[in-house]
């Protein structure tokens, strides 16, 4: 027959008596399985290959470019938001419910 969409189509709906049984049989209950292992932090010191050395002028250039890009993005967002609100409140379509003046 059809497969259950509640479990991504992986198991027939009648196979599990309840959602809790499904969780227990799959080993997903709290504190078990992959979830716990993936969250656990590795306790080892950094090795030499883990560290990437970057020259200071290149690092300064990258940080400056990132900051400039971020400022430009926020400026663009602010200008667009202001103009959208201003134009939206003053210039109405003649087919609008409120009419064309925008002062109703």
pTM of the model: 0.40
- Give percent above pLDDT 70 in the chain: 46
Has residue 86 got a pLDDT over 80?
yes
Query: Can you give the pLDDT at residue 87?
Result: 86
What's the burial of 27, exposed, middle or buried (CB within 10 Å: 0-12/13-18/19+)? exposed
Higher pLDDT, 21 or 82: 82
> Residue 102 and residue 94: Cα distance in Å, rounded?
10
- pLDDT surpasses 70 at 47: yes
Asked if residues 92 and 98 have their Cβ atoms less than 8 Å apart, the reply is yes
- Could you tell me which residue, 58 or 20, shows the higher pLDDT? 58
Q: What's the mean pLDDT in 21-47?
A: 60
């Amino acid at each position: 027959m059809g497969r259950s969409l509640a479990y991504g189509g992986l198991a027939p709906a009648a196979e599990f008596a309840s959602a809790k049984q499904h969780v227990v049989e799959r080993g997903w209950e709290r504190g078990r399985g992959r979830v716990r292992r993936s969250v656990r932090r590795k306790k080892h010191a950094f090795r030499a290959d883990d560290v990437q050395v970057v020259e200071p002028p290149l690092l300064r250039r990258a940080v400056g470019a990132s900051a400039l890009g971020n400022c430009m993005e926020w400026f663009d967002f602010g200008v667009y938001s202001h103009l959208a609100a201003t134009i939206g409140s003053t210039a109405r379509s003649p087919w609008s419910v409120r009419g064309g003046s925008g002062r109703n």
